[in-house]
Amino acid sequence: MVANRLRRRLPEGEWTITVVDQDPEHHYQPGYLLIPFGVYDPSMVVKPKRKFLPKGVNTILQEIDLVEPEMNRVRMADGTTLDYDELVIATGVSPRPDQTPGMVGSEWRNTVFDFYTKEGATALADKLRTWDGGRLVVHISEMPIKCPVAPLEFAFLADSFFEERGMRDRVEMTYVTPLEGAFTKPVASKRLGAMLDERKIKLESDFYIESIDNEKKALVSFDEREIQFDLLVTVPVNTGADFIGRSGLGNELNCVPVDNGTFQSTSWDNIFALGDAADIPTSKAGSVAHFAIELFTENFIQHINGDEMTHNFDGHANCFVESGEGKAMLIDFNYDTQPLPGKYPVPGLGPLSLMKETRLNHHGKLMFRWVYWNALLPGRRLPVPALMSMAGKEVVEE
Amino acid sequence: MSLATIADQEVHVDDEGFLTEYDEWNEELARQLAANIGIDLEGRHMEAIRFLREDFKSEGETATLRRVTTLSGIPTKELFQLFPKKPAKKMAYIAGLPKPTGCV
């Protein structure tokens, strides 16, 4: 998205743009959620990246060893180097099952699964096809994770999936989270907590995992609680790319500390971090990256012209929450305003409803895959504002 | 936000009782805040609390558990023994800092 937008704005004679990437494929990550239930086939979430890069952009298919900010240089895994005037880091975060003792043990992809990778989601689809019930535990290891609503969606969709197969009464579901409630922000947490209740999904909160006991098939917390499972669907710890840590650019999770409004590194004026790779206090979600990049483009032009950056990001996030039975809910929030009920994007009219489960929201979510490939990645403007608006929202008591 | 009297000192607190002014905090206050939630503040507790205070000064936000463990060297397991059940929230409360926002 950055390359597409900046190539249009920066004259080719003055600026060369180089994209360094270790993976030739782009994955539509929101689609992972629907693979385990057989709604999406794994082939539906993958396309080659070259299709989405504009002319006039160089690409290097290489792993990055490290960034040497004092030299304005990137060092590749094969030892070659690349000098830069300005560096944009957009390497995201990845699930790291190796960070929790016992997670990648004898039960890994046998009764312990993740769904935040294509391989994990596909293996889980195979498992669910023949699973005949028992204790299903849906688990978040540690916050922050990308798409923080996805584990809840997984639980809702699983409830619906077992219901359809006539086996819901043979499945005991527990939702285990390090948070105090179902979600992070009070009004949404209450609503989503009630949705777990309605579906008879037990909530185990404040659970901070220490290890997985493969013999007992149990999650063990630091305060010595144990939760046994027959099938565990876990979200491993998410961390930024290792090269960020090696380069001394990251925090304790290898995310890059940046200014919340401009994404400029707090240590280096010519380094920016966008999307999940940054440590900004909002959801790690595609919508955030999309809204952020609109403002970033304007800021970046000001920055290279030596002007002050004036387009401050507000942390705007907008997420569909699949709730099962062909319905979904929509939430819209930012750094300061938590998700509230109302209509979106047109105040009073919608057509989408905030914080309410509707069929139209579900269709909105399915349609989004098309929007993603055809408008978002090529860097086209969507007809929704980048900054959050209070118009159309109702203020409610917590 | 409202005023509360803790350990004979008048301080600003939010509706959950967390101090809202960084500079109104002192160790005597911390002892009383800890007592409010059933914790008898000792040396190892204070190590964690002092780390949180210092870290907030430079970072402008309350450290997450992982950050405390990584940078102060106090193992997560021990934090759960020192501040049972909800260490991140309890440490922030005693240190006079906002609840950690690391979770969004």
Which residue of A223, A239, A255, A260 to mutate against B (max B Cβ within 10 Å)? A223
Give, as one character, the DSSP assignment of residue A177.
-
Q: Which residue of B has its CA nearest to A239?
A: B66
Write the DSSP assignment of A262-329 as a string of letters: T-BBSS-TTEEE-GGGB--SS-B-HHHHHHHHHHHHHHHHHHHTTPPP-------EEEEEEEETTEEE
A148 neighbourhood in chain B, CB within 8 Å:
104
Largest CA distance in chain B: 36
What gap in Å lies between CA A295 and CA A314, rounded to an integer? Answer: 10
Q: Which domains does chain A have, with CATH numbers?
A: 2-22+62-92+241-304 (3.50.50.60), 97-237 (3.50.50.60), 317-376 (no CATH)
**How large is the ipTM?**
0.88
- Please indicate whether, in this complex, the C-beta atoms of B77 and A210 are within 8 angstroms of each other: yes
A250 neighbourhood in chain B, CB within 8 Å:
none
Residues of B marked active site are found at: 103
Count the Cβ atoms, other than its own, within 10 Å of residue A310.
11
Domain coordinates in residue numbering, chain B: 30-94
Q: Count of CB contacts below 8 A, A vs B?
A: 42
Whether the Cβ atoms of residue A138 and residue A154 lie closer than 8 Å to each other: yes
- Please indicate whether, in this complex, the C-beta atoms of B65 and A251 are within 8 angstroms of each other: no
What gap in Å lies between CA A237 and CA A95, rounded to an integer? Answer: 6
Whether the model clears a pTM of 0.90, i.e. scores above it, the answer is yes
Backbone φ, ψ for residue A338 (5° rounding): -80, 165
Half-sphere exposure of B53 (CA within 13 A, CB side): 18
Q: Which residue has the tokens 């919340």?
A: A260
Helix (H) / strand (E) element for A19: namely strand A17-21
pLDDT in tens, chain A (398 residues): 999 999 999 999 999 999 999 999 999 999 999 999 999 999 999 999 988 999 999 999 999 999 999 999 999 999 999 999 999 999 999 999 999 999 999 999 999 999 999 999 999 999 999 999 999 999 999 999 999 999 999 999 999 999 999 999 999 999 999 998 998 788 889 999 999 999 999 999 999 999 999 999 999 999 999 999 999 999 999 999 999 999 999 999 999 999 999 999 999 999 999 999 999 988 899 889 989 999 999 999 999 999 999 999 999 999 899 999 999 999 999 888 889 999 988 888 888 899 899 999 998 888 888 888 888 888 887 778 888 888 888 887 66
Beta-strand relationship, A25-27 and A46-48? antiparallel
Write the DSSP assignment of chain B as a string of letters: -EEEEETTEEEEE-TTS-B--GGG--HHHHHHHHHHTT----HHHHHHHHHHHHHHHHHSSPPPHHHHHHHH---HHHHHHHS-S-HHHHHHHHTT-PPP----
